[in-house]
Amino acid sequence: MSRLRPAPRGTERGDRVTEKSQKSFADPDAQMMKTSDGALTYAYDVQAAVSDDGLIVATRHTTDVNDMGQLIPMVDEVERNTGESAGTVLADNGYLTEKNLQTMRAGGQKCLVAVAREFRRPNRWPKGAETRRMHLIQRLPWAQKLHGRRKTQGERQFAETKQAMGFRRHALGGREKTAGQWDLVAAAYNLRRLYVLGQAMA
């Protein structure tokens, strides 16, 4: 997950993130969100699912201020795009909800969703049965090893698109246009990744 701001065109700032937050006159589709440094700005939330070889196989572009509602749609998008099941889904703590885990389990979808930073034990034992089960699974050595791949495999595309490709904000406004731009960036990232994979095999 990454938050990308639209091009700055006289946007205004609010004091807190709510459904009733004021809208930007420059881009009414954008939503007030917190950035990594704690500031508030109008932005979009972009998602990417990555395969084992580091290719982006699915994207989403939303105005949601958190990731909780994006896990199931992303898994569905992977299956639509690839024609295959998503395998074992690795996701960070932002996607952890009892409902998400219940849905994944009911559908036979394997997943490892982070329950805390660095697998720390919670101060309070969670009430949900699926969330408790995930806490127990994440303590197992094989689960910690597998989930450790997410830090490099699942975050690489955001680091590369921001640092190497210089994509830190949308150049366009409006949800449809900014979503299209994110898809183009994901395609460009895949071309770079395919080149690297090709060089490694040469």
pLDDT value, residue 172: 78
pLDDT per position as a tens digit, 89-111: 999 888 999 999 999 999 999 99
Residue 31 pLDDT level (bands cut at 50, 70, 90): confident
Whether the per-residue pLDDT at 28 is higher than 70: the answer is: yes
pLDDT digits (tens, 9 = 90+) for 123-158: 677 788 999 999 999 889 998 888 877 777 777 888
Q: Is residue 96 a contact partner of residue 113, using CB atoms and an 8 Å limit?
A: yes
Task: Tell me the helix, strand and coil percentages in the chain, rounded to 5.
Answer: 45, 15, 40
> Quick one: three-class SS letters along 67-100?
CHHHHHHHHHHHHHHHCCCCCCEEECHHHCCHHH
How many CB atoms neighbour CB 145 within 10 A? 9
Confidence grade of residue 16 (pLDDT, cut at 50, 70, 90):
very low
What pLDDT score does 9 carry?
Answer: 36
* Tens-digit pLDDT profile for residues 183-199: 999 999 999 999 888 88
Whether 71 shows a pLDDT value over 50: the answer reads yes
